Structure 1
Amino acid sequence: MRKLLGENIANRRHQLNMTQQQLAELSELSINFISRLERGGSSDVSSSTLLKLATALNTSMESLMTNGNITTPTKRGPQLTQLINKLEGYDYAKAESLSKAILQILNEK
């Protein structure tokens, strides 16, 4: 299980052209932990940690733990994932206000 999880994390990270450092930042985990995990050297993975990794890798927790195919890459790269994670960290009103401002900037021509 540990080895499979680590391989799936590394494979998905490579699919997204993401470094371990980027994954560490997006998942709010240490780069040492991610490195150890990818090598199969860490057996202490909580569901909340797995969720952080799956979210940062834009995939499901199940796909990280199973032998099936990892979710194919989407348009959500590391920067967009980081932006979404930041917005989700705010309360509803603040997240909506920031989202509206970002959309106004993007809609300017």
Structure 2
Amino acid sequence: MNINLGEEISRRRREQKLTQEDLAELSDLSVNFISRLERTKDQNISIQKLDSIARALNTSTPDIINNAYSAKNIKPENHVNNTPIFIQKVTNELRKLPDDQAERVCKSLIVLLKEMN
């Protein structure tokens, strides 16, 4: 089942009273790219571009993705035990690393999370 990130981005942009031009400028992306993303089902977007858009909209990439799923009243296909998709993505990336690297990354994340509290 597909989601449309463009719909969620458009909704948030309009909510903040931004034009496509404003969002393009704030995210350092082209107006054509923003327009295509919002008006088509073409979801060919890199995580870096989605991050730029999320920052420009004063939100996070996981929040945009999760709200796009919620708007469609669906759960991600690989959504397990109500674990948010971004946690699953981090876990999947950790599994690709050798054990010693994954352990170092996890320890660093734990330190960072503790500092945030």
The TM-score, its normalising length taken from structure 2, stands at 0.53
Runs of 4+ in structure 1 deviating by more than 6 angstroms, as ranges, are none
State the secondary structure of the residue aligned to 2:70: coil
> 2:25: which partner in 1?
25
- Equivalent residues of 2:6, 2:38 under 8 A apart: yes
Over aligned residues, Cα RMSD in angstroms? 1.6
1:42 deviates by 2.7
> 2:58: which partner in 1?
58
Whole-angstrom CA distance in 2 between matches of 1:68 and 1:51: 19
> 1:94: which partner in 2?
none
> 1:68: which partner in 2?
70
User: In the TM superposition, what whole-angstrom CA distance separates every residue of 1:41-80 from its partner, at most 9, and x where no partner exists?
Assistant: 43321111010000000111012222237xxxxxxxxxxx
> 2:109: which partner in 1?
none
State the secondary structure of the residue aligned to 1:68: helix
Query: Greater shift after overlay, 22-31 or 60-69?
Result: 60-69
Whole-angstrom CA distance in 1 between matches of 2:58 and 2:64: 11
Gaps of 5+ in 2: 72-117
Indicate the percent of aligned positions where both proteins have the same amino acid. Answer: 46
Whole-angstrom CA distance in 2 between matches of 1:61 and 1:40: 20
1:2 deviates by 5.2
User: In the TM superposition, what whole-angstrom CA distance separates every residue of 1:66-101 from its partner, at most 9, and x where no partner exists?
Assistant: 2237xxxxxxxxxxxxxxxxxxxxxxxxxxxxxxxx
State the secondary structure of the residue aligned to 1:36: helix
More contact order relative to length (CA 8 Å, sep ≥ 6)? 1
- Equivalent residues of 1:2, 1:40 under 8 A apart: no
Equivalent residue pairs, number: 68
Gaps of 5+ in 1: 70-109
1:40 deviates by 2.8
The TM-score, its normalising length taken from structure 1, stands at 0.57
